[in-house]
Structure 1
């Protein structure tokens, strides 16, 4: 019922907005009414969400003349003849249609250039809540001379030629900036690099991109074999997720502004990135980024690592209040790469740049958002959130009745898995040995995906305990290893499951869980089976040291090989609703009906440290995950997280 109370008003609001804007759209197209008014500066030229563009021939902007904002807003056209008159330009065609792409370089030599640094700037088109579009006001003060000067500085910094490549529709290039980050823009930039390579004899590129420009650079990674390194700062790297997020963040739903299906998503092309030779990949992020969510950047980094790619993810401090512009960091990193500096030295130099920005002119750093935060109100009856460092529990970040004893539900399986790891080694088994399922193991509840007579290997048993929370697997583990423990004790009475549970309680005592009592290996209801949030945090710390657990508890899905009469590959799914959230590393859920929803979670702090969060007895699933995000968002955004020393 709680879920319905929360979700029904949201769904009705979204449906109403879709209906409302559909009516506005067709009314405007048929009658020219209503006009969507801008709430921005009256001197700023704007376009309503349904206004048509009025492209004009590309003007030739030179010297200290600012770039025309109206051309960036409406788009421009060009011909090969016009492009030939534009200084430092390339005529590039894609699918039979051409654009004039302009560049601003320094240090390029006639003949051959072993490497070239190329920078791509961010998006300049912004959309208000009511769909009114405008170009960033700062664009109207930028000139070709400024870009040329910036490239000269970058070239001297890198001791190599450097170049600013203007994206279609902006900074003197023809085209339509409304089609930014689509396949055509990427293809045009790709062809422009080909043209530069041919014109100047470029051996390899070092590409850097800020924000939307970083997304273009990431897209080029899978298209080219001549990229030595890329630097992506505050970059939009998980576009589908971003589009889904923004669909209902404005008053006008996102579908009325752009067809998100046309956007290119770099995260979907990671497998195309060459591995021999592999380009160096640097991602620079400010966890407080207000423009491109940190989650989108971290998701891309994790996807790279899951695909076996090496990536340097560096946390940085961008200027307040947006915490977004890291252009200086990107250019410095690229320059250091060009000079052959190591990853460690690059981190050190970027750390120094951070300190210069934060303490420039001996002034105190700008305050971070929500530096002083109030503990969030949560519905769970008990919770704790704390830092973990060097294998030890550190600072408590949030707590609510952390020592209150409550039913653990399937969080019990964390101890079952922890014991399984130790007993596999103790009795000479390996992860490839098989666990047999017997009739005595069958029980109701979660994870009913194996039958009597079937077998799964111990590696899959860990996943089946952690992801779908299989009670049957927990019982099979207790029966199998409980019997081995009895045999080792020289006993024949007491029952294998009881012996295994006794081992669970002994292990709990050894890790300091003094308010916990286990009664079974699965967490099914049992009188007296209790724990506390503080105790579960200690269990999480122990589990974090076991690769067999940590390698699977953060997976959304896993394919388990089941042997038996029905030989099959069984897909199992995590019960953790937030497992795909940007900062979640893994964990375990526990549920008893009615009204007992538990979660133990490991997540990543903005500076790379580890946070453990445990919630007990939330009233429903929605409350559990709302509480989780409230706690994590409060402790992460409500305090400073000093960058860790470079290693």
Structure 2
């Protein structure tokens, strides 16, 4: 009996000592497989802070197909925001734009369509012809627009993305990653009215003609998953089925990206699971809402003298559900102001912490231009100061 007990103990010890070691990273990958087993790459992020909620091969370079149009739409929205392009402005279709294959809204050479209708064609129908027509309107040619796209990639510090065209048709050296696409999507969502187009399930083009062109959104989740209002699908035989989607629940907006799915049904199911996971495990905590005054800076020798720090966007962080809010702290860390100060120039950061660990850092930018006050302004200020003493 003693020999039997000793033998069993030795066998058990031997089995344990040679059991395969499972690292924390492998355990993480195991959980990823449970959510997106079919995607070649996937990620979910908080749309406000960019915090990663889930990832699987998120930095793997893959062909993005028509998700490329997220960057195209970002540059188009920037042009509209800067007044370089107007929604009611008419765009004339070139021979080249009309020649695009794949998904299209069947533009004819010489046909004119408004920027807004073309944007619908890009966002809802994934029109390659509409994308090129808008690109030519913004930059003069698709080649110059692609150069703008790649410059924006550098500006956003996306290290694994390169574009060769505006629409995602197969091309050498045209690639991106789930992470990079999520960041592009985050930037695009700063233009809040983009969801007026990406979030529609159906609409019409050429409404005044005998046969209006019926648009149906290629992203079926805008109809079948509560809170989804964008962003963009993609498919080529090389890239397979891709999707960058966004959903909002209360004040919590999530972006989920999958690349390389085998079919639309699986793609939609796995993106839905990513949203289910994010909304069940996390919540958004507001530090400042858009328009809140965070602080003000007085610069004695500047004109104007005072700079109000107003939140230009909601500053929110994501926390695990059930986290006590009193554990979350925040502080403004401002740089020394150097004149002249330009609009959009970084002047500091908002640091959010919990238990002395940094949750997120938001860059704070100037909302106004400040220059050196003239000697006359400084003289008047000194007189005013003397009078009030």
Residue 627 of structure 1 and its aligned partner are, at CA, apart by 1.3
Equivalent residue number for residue 184 of structure 2: 539
Residue 459 of structure 1 and its aligned partner are, at CA, apart by 1.2
Residue 374 of structure 1 and its aligned partner are, at CA, apart by 4.2
* CA 1:453–1:387: 2 relative to 1, 3 Å: same
Equivalent residue number for residue 435 of structure 1: 91
Q: Unmatched 5+ residue regions in structure 2?
A: 1-29, 290-389
Given that 1:397 and 1:635 are in contact with CA atoms closer than 8 Å, whether structure 2 keeps it comes out as yes
Give the TM-score normalised by structure 2. 0.61
Equivalent residue number for residue 379 of structure 1: 38
* CA 1:504–1:449: 2 relative to 1, 3 Å: same
d(CA) in 2 for partners of 1:608 and 1:450? 39
Equivalent residue number for residue 112 of structure 2: 455
Q: 1:470 aligns with which of 119, 122, 127?
A: 127
After superposition, where does 1:286-435 map in structure 2 within 5 Å? 374-375=31-32, 376-389=35-48, 392-394=49-51, 396-424=52-80, 426=82, 428-435=84-91
* CA 1:416–1:567: 2 relative to 1, 3 Å: farther
Residue 573 of structure 1 and its aligned partner are, at CA, apart by 1.1
Given that 2:233 and 2:242 are in contact with CA atoms closer than 8 Å, whether structure 1 keeps it comes out as yes
Equivalent residue number for residue 554 of structure 1: 199
Give the TM-score normalised by structure 1. 0.37
Q: Deviations over 1:491-531 (max 9, x none)?
A: xxxxx221111011101211222211010011111011000
Q: Deviations over 1:374-420 (max 9, x none)?
A: 4424201001001122xx312x2110000000011111111111112
* CA 1:609–1:427: 2 relative to 1, 3 Å: closer
d(CA) in 2 for partners of 1:411 and 1:579? 16
| Structure with greater contact order relative to length (CA < 8 Å, sep ≥ 6) | 2
Equivalent residue number for residue 582 of structure 1: 226
After superposition, where does 1:45-56 map in structure 2 within 5 Å? none
Q: 2:244 aligns with which of 570, 591, 600?
A: 600
Given that 1:421 and 1:548 are in contact with CA atoms closer than 8 Å, whether structure 2 keeps it comes out as no
Equivalent residue number for residue 235 of structure 2: 591
Q: Deviations over 1:527-555 (max 9, x none)?
A: 11000111011101110011342221111
* CA 1:558–1:403: 2 relative to 1, 3 Å: same
Residue 625 of structure 1 and its aligned partner are, at CA, apart by 1.1
Q: Unmatched 5+ residue regions in structure 1?
A: 1-372, 484-495
Residue 102 of structure 2 is aligned to residue 445 of structure 1: yes
* CA 1:567–1:457: 2 relative to 1, 3 Å: farther
**RMSD over equivalenced CA pairs, Å:** 2.5
Equivalent residue number for residue 625 of structure 1: 268
Q: Deviations over 1:574-615 (max 9, x none)?
A: 00021111131211101112561110111124x531111111
After superposition, where does 1:5-404 map in structure 2 within 5 Å? 374-375=31-32, 376-389=35-48, 392-394=49-51, 396-404=52-60
Residue 164 of structure 2 is aligned to residue 507 of structure 1: no
Given that 1:384 and 1:400 are in contact with CA atoms closer than 8 Å, whether structure 2 keeps it comes out as yes
d(CA) in 1 for partners of 2:131 and 2:76? 10
d(CA) in 1 for partners of 2:210 and 2:273? 44
Given that 1:512 and 1:538 are in contact with CA atoms closer than 8 Å, whether structure 2 keeps it comes out as no
Residue 255 of structure 2 is aligned to residue 615 of structure 1: no
SS of residue in 2 equivalent to 1:555: coil
Given that 2:104 and 2:128 are in contact with CA atoms closer than 8 Å, whether structure 1 keeps it comes out as yes
Given that 2:146 and 2:166 are in contact with CA atoms closer than 8 Å, whether structure 1 keeps it comes out as yes
Given that 2:63 and 2:239 are in contact with CA atoms closer than 8 Å, whether structure 1 keeps it comes out as no
What is the aligned residue count?
A: 256
Q: Deviations over 1:313-358 (max 9, x none)?
A: xxxxxxxxxxxxxxxxxxxxxxxxxxxxxxxxxxxxxxxxxxxxxx
Given that 1:513 and 1:536 are in contact with CA atoms closer than 8 Å, whether structure 2 keeps it comes out as no
Given that 2:64 and 2:175 are in contact with CA atoms closer than 8 Å, whether structure 1 keeps it comes out as yes
d(CA) in 2 for partners of 1:431 and 1:583? 26
d(CA) in 2 for partners of 1:562 and 1:456? 11
SS of residue in 1 equivalent to 2:221: coil
d(CA) in 2 for partners of 1:644 and 1:422? 26
d(CA) in 2 for partners of 1:642 and 1:408? 29
Given that 2:251 and 2:284 are in contact with CA atoms closer than 8 Å, whether structure 1 keeps it comes out as no
Q: Deviations over 1:290-319 (max 9, x none)?
A: xxxxxxxxxxxxxxxxxxxxxxxxxxxxxx
Greater share of strand: 2
Residue 445 of structure 1 and its aligned partner are, at CA, apart by 0.4
Equivalent residue number for residue 237 of structure 1: none
